[in-house]
Amino acid sequence: MTDPTSGREISSLVAGDASDVDTAVAAAKLAFETTWGRFGPFERERCLALLADLVEMNADLLVELETLDVGMPLSVARHLNVHGTARCIRYMAGWPSKISGRTVDVGLPIPDSEFFGFTRKEPVGVVGAIVPWNAPLMLAAWKIAPALAAGCTIVLKPSEDACLSVLALAGLAREAGIPDGVINVVTGTGRQAGEALVRHPDVSKISFTGSTATGVMLARTAAAGLKKVSLELGGKSPQILFGDADFDWCLPLIANSIFLNSGQVCVAGSRLYVERKGLDQAIDGLTRYARSLRVGPSLAAETEIGPLINARQKSKVMGFLKQARSEGADFEDDPDIDSAGHFVRPTIVFNASQQMSIVREEVFGPVLPIVPFDDFDEAIHLANDSAFGLSSCIWTNDLRTAHRLIPRIKSGRVAVNTDPLPYPSLPEGGRKASGYGRDLGEEAIEGYLETKAVLIRSA
């Protein structure tokens, strides 16, 4: 593993394989059937609440690990990622004692008989979870916390590109009193460790966050074992800027929606549609704002834009920009920063069109293409004209416009006059090629439960 700022190697990890997955799943299965399976709801709540406390107490360490591992600036690692991790775990800690079934008034046409019906919510069992490299600590918590709250145990495979903070989180779980075998981390590649985890017969549920292409292959593999699956996949989330919006106020927020963590965010507002009368103002304002952002080493306190995760990702982003220019789009400044690290300058792309790959495909970098629209219906068409459906942003001062748009945008989340920041009680997930199932919120808990119907004859 390398430091994205310098390109230097900072750590090495074991390349786990199928035998390591077997060991981890066996430990998770044993814990589910014994220790964790015998913990009552208040005991699970206590452990998770203590884990949230420990995340906050060890915030400095976790921030530094996430910054070194991923390249995100210190402020992002602290305020969004580490504190977001603690908030997620604390929210999920409140759920174990709230999980319940329902009673049903049963009437069957059998003379002189009486029945009682009810449902039970039961944990699915051993969960296999796979998380990507862009925010490994927070995304690991999105899997671990609801799974444990529901009573499951988990085997988690982080990305081979960034997993130091996840390993630290697993260590804190032991301090929180979570028994051995409840949380298991297997490092390694997707081809070896990830595929073995998805195929394992003792894994009842797979929760995956990552690319759409990998998600499709994973779903096919899991289908052979009839496993429950939730997929939070790629995004190409639209931002729609109407001419009545307060441009001075909202343009920095629009920019931050894509430039946060150098654009390496699945819900990033990565394509902007601007009402034509405000197009020039938007391009000028966003370009000036992008130039004002301080690009630098991720551990420097003043840095606002850090490096991309690795040379491969930088090459991918630069390839999109080169192709966009060849297709007729343009940008004013050279996006390539020549250094040992993997830096790309925040870039506003204008003269873009809907059919360009930079508008249609997930770039995962600090790049914002702008396309104009002329009326309300065209804005809806452009926003929905995508294989993805993860998130979206609406910028307007007209409440009627916002309310008309919200039900017509085909995405898992709609943010109005804000970027789509995650919040523990609001579900996170998508539609279409952005996947199915949800992280966060009550919906996440439900994804780790089975519903059992019970019918009792009492007469």
Q: In whole angstroms, how far apart are CA 244 and each of 277, 333, 363, 375, 397?
A: 10, 29, 29, 13, 6
The answer to whether the CB of 313 falls within 8 A of the CB of 211 is: no
**266 catalytic per annotation:** yes
DSSP string over 192-256: IIIHHHHH-TT--EEEEES-HHHHHHHHHHHHHTT-EEEEE-----EEEE-TTS-HHHHHHHHHH
**Backbone phi, then psi, for 452, in 5-degree steps?**
-110, 125
Does residue 309 sit in helix, strand or coil?
coil
Q: Say which amino acid occupies 29.
A: K
**232 catalytic per annotation:** yes
Residue whose structure tokens are 């015998």: 38
Does residue 71 sit in helix, strand or coil?
coil
Catalytic hit among 45, 160, 232, 362: 232
Q: Say which amino acid occupies 220.
A: R
**Backbone phi, then psi, for 245, in 5-degree steps?**
-70, 160
- The candidate with the shortest Cα–Cα distance to 283, out of 353, 173, 158, 369, is 369
Residue whose structure tokens are 């830096």: 343
β-sheet bridge partners, residue 189? none
CA–CA dist 233, 209 (Å, integer): 6
For the chain, the first-to-last Cα distance in angstroms comes to 67
CA–CA dist 295, 329 (Å, integer): 24
Catalytic hit among 266, 275, 304, 428: 266
Does residue 109 sit in helix, strand or coil?
coil
DSSP string over 140-204: HHHHHHHHHHTT-EEEEE--TTS-HHHHHHHHHHHHTTPPTTSEEE--S-IIIIIHHHHH-TT--
**Backbone phi, then psi, for 12, in 5-degree steps?**
-135, 150
Tokens found for residue 230: 């939730």
H or E segment to which residue 315 belongs: helix 311-326
Tokens found for residue 266: 């699945």
Does residue 381 sit in helix, strand or coil?
helix
Residues involved in catalysis: 232, 266
